[in-house]
A and B are shown apart, each in its own frame.
Chain A
């Protein structure tokens, strides 16, 4: 399962965002976070979060909701289980 270095980094960012949404309790629309908020709380650059979030939405792990401060993101039930599986 060896991967090129760049791909490893991308996967680790995706996993990090998945994990952060879980530990920041972003598991329903009322607790959703903007990309900027996620960037501030994880230390990951917004541009990386933006591309990773798209992958997570494609996989069905993340959903979005509109708010006054912009589009916010939160884990779907499948996303909660996938994030939890990182540690089980």
Chain B
């Protein structure tokens, strides 16, 4: 399995997906090798919960990101050769997103093994269209890996429709396999008062949590606008933004400009234990993405028993049923987002109903079931593989 991110390198949802899927596949009897990028303090090779993790250093510096991607794919290929020689030829090569497409296609042809590619998002979606030469190149690579793979996996029906439409793929080539969550991981007891105290949140304050990479597509700037509306009626509302990214400085300034400094907490990156503790100590979760192929954080919030507000976009609309286990807001609309948040702050019966239903819903997204579906896809990929 090839992925540019794997814990503790957690950039987006791919990292968690590969982490949990590789473990679940191991429990199904597979020998899984994850090839990923190196990270300070982590060994180049280790076996963790039965999963072989190969963290590959990029030995040559590159002048820009795209050359660097090509270079790290070269070092991935080298490691795949090492794995094939020392552990035996793999039965499947499974890539995640365009960043590992090149090495996965090479591995398919060099080792003559079927290729499965998971699309977690597409360049057209991430960039809201193809507007730069780099976007066109990434789009071409995405098309190329969709052509080379025997089976395409993707994380929502919305994404499946996009892939079939944009890359002119046969419908039976694209499988929807949702991301998963392990509800037991989030069903933990925490000292809520102590955690809220550490975050400087008073017992009577309402804590709204949002988690994710601080990039434009996550819509945190819309959420801050919504918060400036919410606090007019609910000065007891406090927002905690968990995560980091290139937009953090801009968002901190926006919060200050909107007079929200006392109402918004930026945590930066937090480890999994602290994330779980924060989720269990919060009152509401908001996922304000402008583009979201799936939205694994929404599932984690639901599993933590949080009433949830999501932007009605992409996979979020498939995970959350409006008025049943969460609320939908119009994407990019701070007034709509604020209105949903206010409803949950004011209507405890509604919040309790959504919370209960969300916990039940989250149990459906079990990684063991997902691993079984992935194994079926691997089998189909084996039957369809062609090497030309």
Contacts and interface: CB of A to CB of B under 8 A. Distances in A.
Q: Do A and B bind each other?
A: yes
Contacts of A80: 9, 39-40
B184 interface: no
A22 interface: yes
Contacts of A11: 249-250
B11 A23 contact: no
B148 interface: no
A25 B269 contact: no
A41 B246 contact: no
Nearest to B216: A1
Interface string B64-79: 1101100000000000
Interface in A4-23: 11, 14-15, 18-19, 22-23
* Interface size grouping (class) on chain A: 20 to 34
Nearest to B138: A87
Contact of A25 (B8, B58, B64, B254): B58
| Interface residue range, chain B | 35 or more
B203 interface: no
The interface residues of chain A, by DSSP majority, are classed as: helix
- A-B complex: 4 closest residue pairs judged by Cβ atoms: A85-B245, A24-B61, A23-B68, A84-B11
23 contacts: A1-B250, A3-B250, A18-B246, A22-B68, A23-B62, A23-B63, A23-B64, A25-B60, A27-B39, A28-B40, A41-B63, A78-B268, A82-B244, A82-B248, A84-B9, A84-B11, A86-B65, A86-B245, A86-B246, A87-B65, A88-B11, A88-B213, A88-B215
